[in-house]
A and B are shown apart, each in its own frame.
Chain A
Amino acid sequence: MSDLLERLLDGDHRALARTITNIENRAPGYRDLVSGLYEHAGTAEVIGITGSPGAGKSTLVDKMAETYRERGETVGIIAIDPSSPFTGGAVLGDRIRMASNIGDMDVFFRSMSARGSLGGVSIATADAVKALDAFGKDRIIVETVGAGQNEIDIVKTADTVCVLVQPGSGDDVQMLKAGILEIADVFVVNKADLDGADRTVQELREMLDLRGNAGSGRNDQHARHGHHTGPEATENGADGSAGRADGAALTQAEAEAEPGEDGSDPEWTPPIIEAVATHGEGVDAFLDAINDHHAHLDATGEAKAKARERYAEEVRTLLREDTADLLAEEIDARGGIDDLVDGVVAGETDPYGIADDVLDPVATCLRERREDG
């Protein structure tokens, strides 16, 4: 395994591919491998792209990769497609759109299927991102169809989350409200040359206004304040430096009491970019918006907070998965899930009773250990 890690760090494409395979398969030893990746990762910018089927995600990602390559940056892409809940099989078709980077190994494109385990996909995605990061990719794009909680968890592994919307999807935009809309840092209205694009932009803008008012009204006021009073903000800045001459501590206290008054904008308002991905229109504006968001994350310290949040979520998901495995083992030891279900069918017990039964020794053991120190 460590040989694999060495080859990956050495820039061996096949080692990178095999590492991601091991991560996906949870092959023996993959945990040590991922642990080994951590100290080499942390430099890449991670961008998440989601949106309804046919919105143009893969096409846009292709154009993004092309533009980054023109700027001399290396790109890693992970495209996640759903798998059949019945056979586990999947057709992963996102590669079809990758036409602009023919034979360019510095664009590493990997298709992954959402192998259906609780939280498993998002962990595998996060780990695969780590692998690409450690390999030395400058930009990493995670692409997935936006349909549910799983997808939201996936794009949460990104620094900047972009949601693609296509015109004429008024009702879709309504649907997006629950979930996807809240997590978007940048909106892209793709196929902006089609009729109805203006309306879709308008609808998104209205929804963002509503969100601001309903959610965190006070912060929203600050955001507006910051936006519309450029000159005043500069004056505040001047006052601030005068204050610093009097006493830095006071300025610091003021800054804490009134975040945003110093002119920096604590609240990010997602921009809405119009694009025609097939022609590459709007791609530069889109990439600029992503850079702006990244700068915002750095300036406000949100980047660090996000990273912390991500680590916490990774720990929680890992533990959830591991305990589920441990308990599955215990169920097998008790004769398998079918035997236990027989009890419920016969009316002798119920699912809650069984769950308590299985979990009780684990809970007892843990508590005893904690008390022993």
Chain B
Amino acid sequence: MSAGQTQQPVRCLVAKVGLDGHDRGAHVIARAFRDAGFEVVYSGLHRSPDEVVQAAVQEDVDVLGISILSGAHNTLVPKILDGLDEYDALADTLVLVGGIVPDKDQDDLRERGVSAIFGPGASMEDTIEFVRENAPER
């Protein structure tokens, strides 16, 4: 089979979790990822951690981007990470967090398995580049 026929776009899930109704950022990211040639599944608003895990496992995504602006990241993100671990999906999923995460919380999230955190002012190019370089090989 020729290389041209074997297509493997990066698959991403862009997820909004918890009581956070601001999804402009998630929309912009979803669109930028699409234009970068990624396949983007968008979860919609107000998802529970369980739902995000269910979506990430069923869609078998390479990248999970969690958008969270409500300040509840210390509660919600670990729940998602634990859920992924339950399905043996944590090791080969690149987990990103986007939104407002204070510096003092960042190390803890990284230790738990978040690969990168993109705050206000992060450039779209950098984010896409990071995904391209770090998306797990399947």
Contact = CB atoms under 8 A, between A and B. Distances in A.
Interface residues of B, number: 36
A14 B57 contact: yes
A332 interface: yes
Interface string B30-56: 110111111111111000101100110
A93 B42 contact: yes
Contacts of B38: 89
Contact of B58 (A91, A110, A332): A110
Interface residues of A, number: 38
Nearest to B7: A115
A325 B3 CA distance: 9
A88 B9 contact: yes
A89 B34 contact: yes
B34 A27 contact: no
B121 interface: no
Interface stretch (A100-108, A186-194, A350-358): A100-108
Contacts of B50: 102-103
A96 B42 contact: yes
B47 to A, nearest CB: 9
Given A89-B9, A108-B58, A328 B33 contact: no
A331 to B, nearest CB: 9
A329 B54 CA distance: 40
A102 B1 CA distance: 40
A92 B1 contact: no
Contact of A325 (B5, B36, B42, B87): B5
Closest 8 CB pairs of A and B: A96-B44, A17-B60, A89-B34, A103-B50, A87-B37, A21-B60, A89-B37, A92-B41
Interface of A: 13-14, 17-18, 20-21, 25-27, 83-84, 87-93, 95-97, 99, 102-105, 108-111, 113, 115, 117, 321, 325, 328-329, 332
16 contacts: A14-B87, A17-B58, A25-B138, A27-B6, A27-B138, A89-B36, A89-B37, A90-B39, A91-B34, A103-B51, A109-B55, A109-B58, A111-B59, A115-B9, A321-B5, A328-B4
Given A14-B87, A91-B34, A99-B44, 18 more contacts: A87-B36, A89-B33, A89-B37, A90-B9, A92-B42, A93-B41, A95-B42, A95-B43, A95-B44, A96-B42, A102-B50, A103-B50, A105-B54, A111-B41, A113-B39, A117-B7, A321-B5, A332-B2
